[in-house]
Amino acid sequence: MLTLRDLILQQDPDISETRKYGMPCFYYRDKILCYLWVDKKTKEPYILMVEGRQMDHPKLEAGDRARMKILRVDPNKDLPLDTIDDVLKMGLDLYRE
């Protein structure tokens, strides 16, 4: 979780963090970019992208969510750094445009 936090914060100096709904929440300037959380059933961490519906990436899952998508991270494997980086950049690009 701490490594995921660091990866998110390293994306841009304008990203800040706080807690919202009991979850670590990351803002890009004044807009919520993503949350970091652990799935209650699988106990695996994931990054929840707030504007996920506008993002088209094969690793993002919508599930029953209308607006958000998640990127699951298997804690028993090496972090998919390229995938995490791609997803976070896609999310940031939505706010930069």
Alpha-carbon distances of 36 from 33, 71, 97, rounded to whole Å: 10, 10, 24
Facing residues of 38 across strands?
45
- The tens digit of pLDDT for each residue in 21-63 reads 899 999 999 999 999 999 999 999 999 999 999 999 999 999 8
Return d(Cα 70, Cα 81) in angstroms, integer.
Answer: 15
Return d(Cα 27, Cα 14) in angstroms, integer.
Answer: 8
Average pLDDT over residues 4-20: 96
Say what the pLDDT of residue 70 is.
96
Average pLDDT over residues 5-31: 95
In this prediction the pTM is 0.92
Say what the pLDDT of residue 97 is.
74
